[in-house]
Amino acid sequence: MRIKIILMLIASLVPIFFVSAYGSNTGGVFGPGVKEGHQSIQYRSAYDPDNHNFAQRLHYQQSTSENLMFRGIIQSRKVYQPDSDIEFDFFQAELFWQLEDVSTNWQQGLRFDARVRSDNRPHQIGLNWMHDFSLSPRVLARFLLLSSTEIGSNARSGINLQSRSSLNYRMNDSWTLSLEMFNNLGTTGNFNGLSNQNHQIGPALTGNLGDGWQIFAGVLAGVTDTTPDQSYRFWLTKSF
């Protein structure tokens, strides 16, 4: 019954978002762990009420061994205009590789990305380094360092650098409360000053609903003037 209610709410909210939208932060603070036999699909959306920006995307992910998993992503966007159409934003292929644990409380891994964009925008390849630190049975700290470079027409020079982090508290077997932070530092060819960088921070709640369903909801607040003041995020995942 709870799942049916959630799906009905999504169906009613998505058309409202489509009226006023285009591109927002659909990224996550992803971890290095790979579970053998994992297979899931995921829907994500993010909405920026200040600029009326909205983005949504679909994931399919499947592990191929105890330390390798691939993911495919397709994302769309919609410009805030009454007669505009939903636009293809990008397709991205990802490969997760869980490395050997540094210690009993420290996991690490790499993720390789390849992104194809629309509208004559540059494509992108990336390498990301992931870390999980178990601080206690209920508390997990996570840190990511992301790097990417653009290729093709209109590509910027240098390597784009970002970091993401989260502090996660498992309240019980079903619910986890998190504090997340996203930092876009700019490129090595043109580092921005702190006031011109994008930094976001905010809480999130993740819940396991049973039968393979998981829900995520969170809000991010901008730390610098160039960052949107708010971004609302919602995910729904089904594991098989």
Mean pLDDT of the chain: 86
Separation of alpha carbons 59 and 92, rounded Å: 10
**So what's the pLDDT on residue 24?**
75
**Higher pLDDT pick, 18 / 197:** 197
Neighbours of 142 (CB within 10 A): 20
Domain that holds residue 198: 2-239
Residues 6 or more apart whose Cβ sits within 8 Å of residue 147: 126, 127, 128, 159, 160, 161, 162
pLDDT digits 0-9 by tens, 79-116? 565 555 678 889 999 999 999 999 999 999 999 999 99
For 161-176, write each residue's pLDDT tens digit: 999 999 999 999 999 9
Number of domains in the chain: 1
- CATH code (residue 76): 2.40.160.40
The least confident of 40-44, 185-189, 212-216, 219-223 is: 185-189
The whole-angstrom separation of Cα 46 and Cα 153 is 28
User: Can you give the pLDDT at residue 224?
Assistant: 78
CA pair distance 179, 200, nearest whole angstrom: 11
DSSP 101-151: -SBTTEEEEEEEEEEEESTT--EEEEEEEEEEEE-SSSEEEEEEEEEEEEE
Pull the structure tokens for residue 122: 């540059």
